[in-house]
Amino acid sequence: MSPKKLNLKDKYKLLTRDLDWEFSYEDRKEAFPYEEFEGIKITDWDKWEDPFRLTMESYWKYQAEKEKKLYAIYDAFAQNNGQTNVTDARYVNAIKLFLTGVSPGEHAAHLGFAFTGRQMGGIGARVAAQMQSIDELRHIQTQIHAMSHYNKFFDGFDEFNHMHDRLWYLSVPKSFFEDARTAGPFEFMIAIGFSFEYVLTNLLFVPFMSGAAYNGDMATVTFGFSAQSDEARHMTLGLEIIKFILEQHEDNLPIVQKWLDKWLWRGYRLLTLVAMMMDYMLPQKVMSWQEAWELYFEDAGGSLFKDLERYGIKMPDYTETIKQEKEHLSHQAWWIFYQYTHAAAFHTWTPTAEEMDWLSEKYPDTFDKYYRPRWELAAEMEAKGERFYTTGLPQLCQTCQIPMAFTEMSDPTQVSYRESIYNDERFHFCSDPCKSIFDNEPEKYVHAWLPVHQILQGNCGGGGLDKVMEYYHLDDGVANLEFEGSPDAERWKEWKGVA
Amino acid sequence: MTIRALRDDYHGEFKDSLEKFGGAQLVYLGWDKHQMFCSSRAFPLPPEMRFQELLDNVMPEAFGQHPEFNQIDWNKAQWILDNSAFQPDHSKSLTELDIGHKSLLRLVTPELTGYKGAGI
């Protein structure tokens, strides 16, 4: 007798909602110990509307199909020496930044969604979070595989995992995700599921993936396509979670608003890396950071917030500041990396004359006035054989952990300094939002692992910069420093037959 | 509330308190409107260091790469300590001058306008 075939609806019910059970002899609160401390009130989990109708069984089938195609392209890319077809060896530094700075975040998201996939009380939300958790694990794996081919020919990829826990700039994405993962399940879902995946993800993935497409990097582009349907699912989950929480109880509104204010800012600061990648690292540029911000945040995000207005949600107050900063962000960021590139696992360079003209055109109000002279100074020093590597270690913001390089929008030549005193100790911040995030929860940020302070306490190999480099596993003179004259640049010239 | 945590008595260890720096204290040094240096810098300094020693030994390490560094007239230099105007007696120590752990000391030189006068 052949087994009875279930129809789709029954199958879906049995393999998702029906996996839950009543707590008849155990205390439900003990089973979900994280559900209440954040103050979020859930009155009826049955009101949860599944953002996508997918059972685990069909999930495996879809994903396996996608993997097959993806790995066929990776193989072809490797066999055809795809690394020689990118626009320029400088481009590869953008994906070094991706592998060291973004991919470990996929892993952190995997862990975070595994946590919420266990701790939220509603089965529908749990199943959705568990699927996203597996997606995120798939993403870091496929990203590592996409870039492993470059690792055979370029420096700076091989120790990405070791570096993630140590390098000064990698503490920016690392601490971002750790902040989210050490929050409760609902804050994590608003932080990563909604603010990051729904509102900001286009500003991360589209620039990197279009950047790859514009610069002949087929491996990374193909990864992007393969992740796209996953991302679409993640976005619907993000939107469902915020609407569900807000619809459950009116007391949830101020808590959610505070989380949005915090996480959109945290996410925006993290995207500083994307801004400089777009404007300075891509030999063939897609669009400027300013254009991307306008398209994906001001236009798309603007209509999203209109939609959320009916719940009482407001656009964060600081969006006006971000609007002004969009003309400065990438220039200030690349200047940090340019002068500290001796301690970074990728190369930096001064923009070419054509690139500077492109920047002038894209940033008519700021580039020539504030930033072109910086590059002229750098070029002058380089011409004298004194390529500018700065001395000393930067002061960092206690919250976002980025060097204190951002300036006042009322006076873009003046560094923006903010401080708080908590339990008689001074803490420093790059901006009003970073300060207020700290002031809201100082006990969380007083034990931030600030790379500069750790070096000065002797916890990073001890001794001088050479010991720090060993601790970082950073191959000095090879993976770091100026691009021109680097082993990467020399190999590229050899492949291309340029003297 | 200083944190929203599972336990109300949650307390985070201060990662950068004074005793963790082996007898030194942290001082951040910035030079306003000289953005050649992307940010202010962190230095571990002995609390008994005289201000004059800071000028002689630490400032060159912090800012000596700048083309205007040698033009600084230290007697005319203005200072901002932790966001307030500050007039240091060069013979006194950091402790005597209330330059504390994690204090931010900013140098202001209005007559020096940076590379190409662009605040760089």
Q: What is the pLDDT of residue A392?
A: 93
For residue B89, pLDDT beyond 90: yes
In a domain, A192, yes or no: yes
- Of A222, A98, A204, which is closest to residue A154 (Cα–Cα)? A98
What is the three-class DSSP state of A106? helix
Least-confidence region, from A3-12, A131-140, A253-262, A348-357: A3-12
- Best of A413, A429, A441, A459 to disrupt the B interface by mutation (most B CBs within 10 Å)? A413
| Contact of A167 with A472, CB cutoff 8 Å | yes
Q: Hey, CA dihedral for A63, A69, A72, A77, is it positive or negative?
A: negative
Res. A2 pLDDT band, cuts 50 70 90: low
Quote the tokens at residue B90: 């060069």
Is residue A390 situated within a structural domain? yes
Q: Is A114 left (phi over 0), alpha (psi -120 to 50) or beta?
A: alpha
Among B15, B82, B106, the residue with its CB nearest the CB of A453 is B15
Domain that holds residue A378: 31-496
pLDDT category at A258 given cuts 50, 70, 90 is very high
pLDDT at A54 (0 to 100)? 85
Contact flag B39-A395 (C-beta cutoff 8 Å): yes
pLDDT of residue A354: 97
Q: Is residue A16 part of a domain?
A: no
Q: Which of B8, B35, B58 to mutate: most A Cβ within 10 Å?
A: B35
Query: How many folded domains does chain A comprise?
Result: 1
Residue A163 sits in a domain whose CATH number is 1.10.620.20
CATH of B22-117, one of 1.10.15.40, 1.10.3470.10, 2.40.50.220, 3.10.20.560: 3.10.20.560
Which residues from chain A sit within 8 angstroms of residue B13, using beta carbons?
446-447
Token pair recorded at residue A461: 């190999």
Q: Is A11's pLDDT higher than 90? A: no
Token pair 């626009």 is found at: A87
Residue B41: list chain A partners with CB under 8 A.
Answer: 392-395
In sequence order, which ranges of A363-486 are alpha helices (DSSP H)? 372-383, 432-440, 442-445, 451-456, 465-472
ipTM of the complex: 0.98
User: Among A47-51, B21-25, B47-51, B60-64, which stretch is predicted with the lowest mean pLDDT?
Assistant: A47-51
Residues 6+ apart with CB under 8 A from A306: none
* pLDDT tens per residue across span A421-443: 999 999 999 999 999 999 999 99
The answer to whether residue A480 is domain-embedded is yes
Q: Is residue B45's pLDDT more than 70?
A: yes
Contact A415 B35 (CB under 8 A): yes
Q: Tell me, yes or no, whether A19 lies in a domain.
A: no
Beta-carbon contacts of A382 under 8 Å, excluding residues fewer than 6 positions away, are A350, A388, A482
| Chain B residues touching residue A428 (CB < 8 angstroms) | 28, 102, 104
Distance (Å) of CA A65 to CA A59, A60, A62, A213, A224: 10, 9, 5, 23, 15
- What are the angstrom distances between the C-alpha of A253 and each of A242, A313, A436? 10, 7, 19
Q: Are A242 and A194 in contact (CB under 8 A)?
A: yes
Q: Do A391 and B26 touch (CB under 8 A)?
A: no
Altogether, the residues listed in chain B come to a count of: 120
Give pLDDT, residue A13. 86
Instruction: Please name which of B60, B39, B53, B41 lies closest in space to residue B94, comparing C-alpha atoms.
Output: B53
CB A347 within 8 A of CB A90: yes
Q: Which of A369, A391, A419 sits opposite B83 (nearest CB)?
A: A419
In the numeric block, which tokens belong to residue B103? 């204090």
Separation of alpha carbons A238 and B1, rounded Å: 28
Closest-approach residue (CA) in chain A for B61: A391
Which amino acid is located at A178 in the chain?
E
Instruction: For residue range A177-196, list pLDDT tens digits in order.
Output: 999 999 999 999 999 999 99
The confidence band for A306, taking pLDDT boundaries of 50, 70 and 90, is very high
* Domain membership flag for residue A12: no
Average pLDDT (A304-322) is 94
> Distance, in angstroms, between A427 CA and closest chain B CA?
8
Minimum-distance CB partner of A392 among B6, B41, B116: B41
* pLDDT more than 90, % of chain B: 92
Out of B14, B33, B104, the one facing A447 most closely (by C-beta) is B14
State chain A's mean pLDDT as an integer.
95
CA distance B67 to chain A (A): 10
Report whether pLDDT(A399) > 90.
yes
pLDDT over threshold 80, residue A50: yes
- Give mean pLDDT, residues B40-59: 98
Sign of CA dihedral A446, A450, A452, A457: positive
Give A444→chain B minimum CA distance, Å: 6
Using pLDDT thresholds of 50, 70 and 90, give the confidence band for residue A159. very high
Which of A39, A183, A373 faces B118 most closely, judged by CB atoms? A373
- Is residue A26 assigned to a domain? no
pLDDT confidence bin for A1, thresholds 50/70/90: low
Residue A241 lies in a domain: yes
Residue with the larger pLDDT of the pair A236 and A9 = A236
Model pLDDT, residue A101: 96
Q: What local confidence, expressed as pLDDT, does residue A302 receive?
A: 87
Chain A CB contacts of B25 under 8 Å are none
